[in-house]
Chain A
Amino acid sequence: MDKPSQHATSMIDPNLLARVVKGDQQAFSQLYDHSSTLLFTLAVRILGNHEEAAELLQDVYLEVWRKVSRYDVGRGTPIAWLVTLTKSRAIDRLRARASRGYQATNSLEAGTATQVADHGPSPFETQADQELRIAVGAAVAGLPIAQQQAIELAYYEGLSHTEIASRLNQPLGTVKTRIKLGMSKLRDSLQQWGNHGELQ
């Protein structure tokens, strides 16, 4: 087993992606080790299904391998790029599924709005990741439930503010304000962590 310090999801070095650009298989394996648990967790949360999440991640990593040269360090950290790519592909899949009339299994009513990590240690995480998880969990849990719910409906279910307003039977302006305030509070709470990857 590799040293835990080699698996800090929050500290992926942009140079690792530069090596993947050159076709370095070992670098790609390291990138997988660093990121796969987080990306799989995200895919399962969005799709509500382990098999489909695994299938999605196969496509995501293949896309990473083929298109990694498009990563621009000036536009964000490596993990931000990977999370954004995975989320985008998962939401696309969710919408395609919805258009076929498939009923999602991970509805907000099932309690996912508060699906925040227990803050205990995990054998798969570095200390840096654990500290970050605690900070993010606390920041999300610290939001008023209405703000948390609106952000999660957009982020994990791909709903627009109009769709959220309709789903919650709330005025559109109220929903927009909840998301803006919530995101602003998260930014204030987590700014030092969001910039972490750039400070290495």
Chain B
Amino acid sequence: MTHDALEESVPLYAAGALDRVERQALEAHLLSGCASCHSALKDYQSIAALLPLALSPTKPPRSLESHNHGRTKSLTDSS
């Protein structure tokens, strides 16, 4: 894939819309150190991460917090 094609795939990657082969191609390109694609991806991923804020919020059950606290505490105590 050309650099332009890879760069064009960045917003699709951030949305989660690439298929496996394309995703791997872009990831390999990013690992090669392309600064412009890395910067574009950071921008698009930060935007994609905001999308759930457009949903009506749903509070998690109270039991989840105590469960998490208990699990991490037991992991800490046993380490």
Q: A-side interface residues toward B, CB under 8 Å?
A: 9-10, 23, 25, 28-29, 32, 36-42, 44-45, 50, 53-54, 57-58, 61-62, 65-66, 75-77, 79-80, 83-84, 87, 91, 115-118, 122, 124-125, 129, 132-133, 136-137, 139-141, 150-151, 154-155, 158-162, 164, 176, 179-180, 182-184, 186-187, 190-191, 193-195, 197
Q: Are B58 and A158 in contact (CB under 8 A)?
A: no
Q: Is B78 an interface residue (CB 8 A)?
A: no
Residues on A with C-beta less than 8 A from B75 are: 65-66
Contact between A115 and B12, CB atoms less than 8 A apart:
no
Out of B8, B16, B49, B58, name the residue touching A77 (CB < 8 Å).
Answer: B49
Interface SS of B by simple majority: helix
With A65-B72, A154-B15, A160-B18 in contact, do A54 and B49 touch (Cβ < 8 Å)? no
Could you count the A-B residue pairs with CB atoms below 8 Å apart for me: how many are there?
A: 169
Residues of B near A155 (CB, < 8 A) are 15-16, 48, 51
Cβ-defined contact, A180 with B49, below 8 A: no
Q: Which B positions have Cβ atoms within 8 angstroms of A?
A: 8, 11-12, 14-19, 42-61, 63-65, 67-69, 71-73, 75-76
| Given A37-B58, A160-B18, A164-B17, A83-B71 contact (CB < 8 Å) | no
Interface contact B67-A58, CB-CB below 8 Å:
yes
Given the interface contacts A28-B72, A161-B19, A176-B12, does A58 sit within 8 Å of B64 by beta carbon?
A: yes
Output the nearest chain B residue to A161 by Cβ-Cβ distance: B17
**Cβ–Cβ contact B43 & A194, under 8 A:** yes
Q: Which of B42, B46, B69 has the most CB of A within 10 A?
A: B46
